[in-house]
Structure 1
Amino acid sequence: MANPAGVLVHARIISDRQDTINIYSDDSWLSTDSIANASWNQIVFNDGSWKKAYRYASFNKSPWGKFVRFNIDGSQQYLMRASQVKADPFQLAMGRPTRENVTTRRNEEPGLLQSITLTNHPLMHQRIAEGALRWSEKYRSDTDELIRRLYLSLLCRLPDSKELATMNNFLKMADNKTGVEDLIWGILVSPEFQFI
């Protein structure tokens, strides 16, 4: 299979009476590679030709454990984007396909529009400012941890000792929020981020 795809689902349904039902995807789910007839979603349906979903790997191994945080226990909530969310110009510039098309492959080469969008789009400036405010409030007293978390989130690695020292010195000289904005901006326009 040239471009394998997978599905990971956790649906939490909360009723008016505050009853909670959690639905998780697992290898007991059934799937088919052909178009199902119109009655597939009825209570009585013959799914005898459907096969059990294939479990590719355990969650803590590649690929799922490396790319997706999928641990919703009520103490932490992670924002997940549904396909029905309206696509904004930024997402379209980054190659988000329209809902009318099924896209199994994306162009890996960055285009001119993507490069310009990443450096000049007002939404980038707005998101960086919002993110910098959140990061600086969360790690106000621990700049080392702030820098480590930024590197891990944006570059998928920790900073080396030289980078950590340089960024710490920079943050000490700059205003806290503006310094964090500049730090995020510097990482986003670095060749290492642009080529991930």
Structure 2
Amino acid sequence: MIALHNTIYTDLKPLLNSRRKIRIERRRPANPHLNGYLVGLSPELGMMHCFDDFEADGYTIFFLDDIESIRSSEYERHWDHMLAAEGLLGGLDCVPRINLASMDTALVSAAKQPGIVIIQCEELENSIEDFFIGQIASIGTETVWFDNFSALGMWDETSEKIALNEITLVQLDTVYAQTFSKYVTGTPASKRTR
């Protein structure tokens, strides 16, 4: 493991678009690990094409400050070999264009992408998180208005107001979101005619 202090960005930079799998340990109990390929990087944010074992699972935007350690060792090289041999690395060739300068610019970019977005607001001390799934309606200087759908597959009556400074993870094109969105009924709150 590479211990990270003030060198997170420097340590990650050689791994950007290297097609070398990494495992990131985060100090957020709700989502302590990210496994996959680094496809975007800024001094503040990173973006990975994530994998859950042999299943590609979209793209995750995360804060570098949440990283405790990175592993890119013989274990990851073996996974590189297996994933490539199984033809599962196509997502590295069609990465969404996301501006990672800050979380608000990343969200503006994410809003332009097709599909469903997941926003998570994780706590540091325990595994409690606020989980939103749906579409970004609008973005202000301190707030994101988000059209969320429920676990019953129905769009909420009103858009959710999410504080930008509480967002810790953003996910695009996940298997969960792709599958769930097929079974959502109704119209997002921000798109209803009044």
TM range (shorter): under 0.3
Relative to its length, the structure with more helix (as a share) is: 1
- Higher relative contact order structure (alpha carbons within 8 Å, sequence separation ≥ 6): 2
Return the TM-score normalized by structure 2. 0.23
Q: Which has the larger radius of gyration?
A: 1
Relative to its length, the structure with more strand (as a share) is: 2
